[in-house]
Amino acid sequence: MPGTVRVAIVGAGPAGLYALEHLLEVRGQNVEVDLFERLPTPWGLVRAGVAPDHPEKKLVIDRQFDFFLRHPRVRFIGNVNIGRDIAPAELNRWYDAVIYASGANGDTRMGIPGEALRGCWSAREFVAFYNGHPDYRDLQFDLSGTRAVVVGNGNVALDVARILTMPVAQLEGTDIADHALTALRRSSIREVVILGRRGALQAAFHNPELEEIEHLEGVDVTVAGENLSDLTDEAIAGIDWDTARKVKTLRRLVARTPHESHRRIVLRFLTSPVALLGEDKVEHVVLAHNHLERDEAGLQWARPGREDAPLSAGMVLRAIGYRGTPFPGLPFDESRGVIRHIDGRVVDEQGVLPGVYVTGWIKRGCRGIIGSNKRCARETVDSLLEDLQAGRLPPHGLDRAAVMAAIGHRKPDLVSRAGWQAIDRVEREAGRVQQRPRVKLTDTAAMLTHAAGV
């Protein structure tokens, strides 16, 4: 019978959990997996990224991932920071293979004057704030102005616009963080302008997300910067079905009669910010109207043209992409924001690092939906299994008990699966009292107190 193969996965978000799923599917080989997570809680962006008014997405994924976490050959080891509490080189000695699924905790910058002004944030920070990520719970967003500007028009941009404009009463029944509810109750924002540097045909959002804002109670949605009357049925006859659906939804939005008392979301196409103005905080956004040009390869690029009058705004959110950041001890491609790899095998200047792998956004860049991680993880696990069969994996030096003893000596407050379940119970019980899915604990110390009770 083959010996036991011991694998560490660093990161308990979707990328790491799909890798876990594929490892558990391996036949004829006993695979033990330790799942490391920096926070006391698993699920990554499912917990801290999916919008609170999308509970159905969280429920399905939560049940699926929890099934893997209950497997007898799997251990959840939370509140352990690989790179600080444990060095990557130590993991290499302890395990046959290590898979890094650390995600992306940075964001793309606009690179324009005034970007450092107070009131300019990344959408990633705002999303983590309202979803109760403990690292972002104390951020202070100034919602006293009447207008916010979101740069970028992907699904994240539509999410934050929806959260800023929808009735707070509808959010009170979700798992949104309590501190975010308090901030939104005091909000004076009446209009959110979403800037897209290209036209409606190139918009990054998907139609279901667009239809969501179409049906927001007490919110008008308007379109600016592009004449949609040019996008006739004949003009869009040759485009793909998804884009055609978006155009038809935009037409319905344009045809609606606005209400003076409503809040408003403005989808402004062919527009880029070129500067932010203000004394010590954002007060205005200087905008340029773009036109599209095709290069020799036939790709369309947005070229800035005339500048419009500055648009007043009290808050600017960058929603132009998450970005991976360097991981201690691993080779990093600064230009792409990923760990260097070939088919999931981590490589440095000398070649492949035996037994070290990568998956998820830190492998392929920040694109795709949650389900995109499944295929990505499959490629990585296939590379690992190929190396195993070829005898290229270095043998591990510690068994399960010895690893846990070594970690527990350094991190006596590590969180096991039982500890996570205790946190989960507390949140769900508080949610039942308030008729919500859960009331999230957002303070790490409070989480550890409940986890220590088991």
Together in a domain, 56 and 174: no
Exposed / middle / buried, residue 237 (Cβ in 10 Å: 0-12, 13-18, 19+): exposed
What pLDDT does residue 148 have? 98
Where is 203: in which H helix or E strand? none
Burial (Cβ within 10 Å: 0-12, 13-18, ≥19) of residue 433: exposed
H or E element at residue 75: strand 74-78
Phi, psi (rounded to 5 degrees) for 284? -145, 155
Is 446 within the bounds of a domain?
no
Q: Are 292 and 199 in contact, with CB atoms under 8 Å apart?
A: yes
**Are 295 and 200 contained in the same domain?**
yes
Q: Are residues 21 and 157 in the same domain?
A: no
Overall number of domains in the chain: 2
Question: Looking at the structure, do residues 126 and 71 belong to the same domain, yes or no?
Answer: no
In a domain? residue 439: no
Q: How far apart are the C-alpha atoms of 215 and 60, rounded to whole Å?
A: 24
pLDDT at residue 171 in the model = 97
Residue 433 belongs to a domain = no
Closest CA to 180 of 156, 194, 164: 164
**What pLDDT, on the 0 to 100 scale, is given for residue 299?**
64
426 assigned to some structural domain: no
Single-letter amino acid code for the residue at 166: M
The pLDDT of residue 227 is 80
Residues 296 and 386 in one domain: no
Q: How far is CA 319 from CA 109, 152, 196, 219, 403, in A?
A: 9, 5, 10, 21, 41
* Shared-domain flag, residues 311 and 376: no
Q: What is the pLDDT of residue 61?
A: 77
Looking at the fold, whether 304 and 366 belong to one and the same domain comes out as no
Does any domain span residue 449?
A: no
d(CA 165, CA 158): 11
- Shared domain for 247 and 135, answered yes or no, is yes
Residues 217, 348, single domain; the answer is: no
Q: What is the pLDDT along the chain (454 residues), one digit of tens a residue?
A: 367 899 999 999 999 999 999 999 998 789 999 999 999 999 999 999 999 999 888 887 788 889 999 999 999 999 999 999 999 999 999 999 999 999 888 899 999 999 999 999 999 999 999 999 999 999 999 999 999 999 999 999 999 999 999 999 999 999 999 999 999 999 999 999 999 999 998 999 999 999 999 999 999 999 998 888 777 777 677 788 889 899 999 999 988 998 999 999 999 999 999 999 999 999 999 999 988 887 666 667 777 777 888 999 999 999 998 999 999 889 999 989 999 999 999 999 999 999 999 999 999 988 878 888 899 999 999 999 999 999 999 888 889 999 999 999 999 999 999 999 999 999 999 999 999 999 999 999 999 999 998 7
Structural domain range at position 142: 110-322
* CATH code of 242's domain: 3.50.50.60
Residue 101: the pLDDT is 96
Same domain, 306 and 342: no
Domain match, 386 and 312 both: no
Q: Is the pTM of this model over 0.85?
A: yes
pLDDT at 1: 36
CATH of the domain at 395: 3.40.50.720
Looking at 296, 322, 348, the residue that finishes a domain is: 322
How many Å apart are CA 11 and CA 360, to the nearest integer? 10
Q: Which amino acid is at 9?
A: I
Which of these three, 322, 341, 360, is where a domain ends? 322
Residues recorded for the chain:
454
